[in-house]
């Protein structure tokens, strides 16, 4: 008989989207999962970095990371319902524009939900 799977309550963090907040956010995700989690950290980093870049520094965001059965779901909520993520191909010379391509390569699926006065950009990764 195998040991029961450890059930974690969701990690929920409210913060202001500043570049200085990203390393602490990555650390919080690693501590919450209590295991190596480079792909989850990548997703959190890219989604919050998109808020910083496209919504604006200092925007209030809510980050939620939860185990949902066989997946880990990452959600980043921001107040701008109009600025939507766009998956595109960056040219070799471009220094930006690869974040969603990286995210798309490691997740099972991702999307955007609208509600209230903002949006939730989410992704799901398979648990290993």
Question: Taking the domains of the chain in order of start, what are their residue ranges?
Answer: 11-126
pLDDT of residue 94: 58
User: Is 11-126 a domain of CATH 3.30.565.10?
Assistant: yes
The residue that leads in pLDDT, 8 or 49, is 49
Q: What is the dihedral of CA 76, 77, 78, 84, to 10 degrees?
A: 70
pTM of the model: 0.86
How confident is the model over 85-116, as pLDDT tens digits?
A: 877 675 656 555 567 888 989 999 999 998 77
Q: What is the average pLDDT across 68-81?
A: 93
Residue 4 scores a pLDDT above 60: no
- Average pLDDT taken over every residue of the chain: 87
**Residues 6+ positions from 68 with CB-CB distance below 8 Å:** 124
pLDDT, tens only, 32-43: 998 889 999 999
């Amino acid at each position: 008989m195998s040991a029961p799977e450890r059930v974690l309550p969701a990690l929920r963090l409210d913060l202001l989207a500043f570049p200085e907040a990203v390393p602490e956010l990555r650390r919080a995700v690693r501590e919450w999962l209590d295991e190596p989690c480079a792909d989850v950290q990548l997703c959190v980093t890219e989604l919050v970095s998109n808020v910083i870049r496209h919504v604006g520094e200092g925007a209030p965001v809510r980050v939620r990371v939860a185990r949902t059965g066989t997946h880990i779901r990452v959600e980043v909520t921001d107040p701008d319902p109009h600025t939507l993520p766009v998956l595109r191909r960056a040219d070799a010379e471009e220094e930006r524009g690869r974040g969603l391509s990286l995210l798309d390569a490691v997740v099972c699926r991702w999307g955007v939900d609208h509600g209230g006065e903002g949006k939730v950009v989410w992704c799901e990764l398979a648990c290993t």
